[in-house]
A and B are shown apart, each in its own frame.
Chain A
């Protein structure tokens, strides 16, 4: 089956520093990757959509200069949280859509990355 991995699974960083989260599709090429943020006991909120080789499209209210997304290849997308603050502490989840999928609608989710900013 389609597997999406994220690294790291959890990270603690100091306020003001930057942290990079990787999202990889392990056994397929992903035409599109999506980044979501989930606060405790809340739903998944879409942050941005990224297509390989092009700039990410950010949702309204998401600061593109703070949440840098790079989709350098068909198997890797990265989210960098710059100048992190405690309010950025959250569960970040990526998902991917398979290139040439049997079901083009299906999205496969990674296991998430727990970010804690102290």
Chain B
């Protein structure tokens, strides 16, 4: 059972455009929703995270939108740059001591 569903699988965006990646979760006990960026051959790095008590969080060019009733959250990358080309994973966890459950990932390519 896939607990976190991520779409699209791949995404091509022009430089300066907005990249949008979506995730949906099933377990209502989840209470922490981070997004990670991973470059080939490297470990994932935390980009931004949100708790269910807020509907939006912005850090620089990265914004998470969270819809608790729909059990969905999304990552928006504004002014996308070629350096943003990477694989992005959404994740969720239900308690601080438990492991993150990852979505399948989205490969983003930003064309110059």
Contacts and interface: CB of A to CB of B under 8 A. Distances in A.
Interface residues of B, number: 23
Given A44-B89, A93-B43, A32 B104 contact: no
Interface in B72-112: 89, 93, 96-105, 107
A42 interface: yes
Nearest to B96: A104
B10 to A, nearest CB: 10
Nearest to B9: A41
Contact of B49 (A97, A106, A112): A106
Contacts of A4: 43
A105 B34 CA distance: 10
A109 interface: yes
11 contacts: A42-B104, A43-B104, A44-B44, A44-B89, A49-B99, A95-B100, A104-B97, A105-B96, A106-B46, A106-B49, A112-B43
Interface of A: 4, 6, 31-32, 34, 41-46, 49, 91, 93, 95, 97, 104-112, 114
Interface of B: 32, 34, 36, 41-46, 49, 89, 93, 96-105, 107
> Sorted from nearest, which 6 A-B pairs have the closest CB atoms?
A104-B96, A109-B43, A105-B32, A34-B99, A111-B43, A43-B104
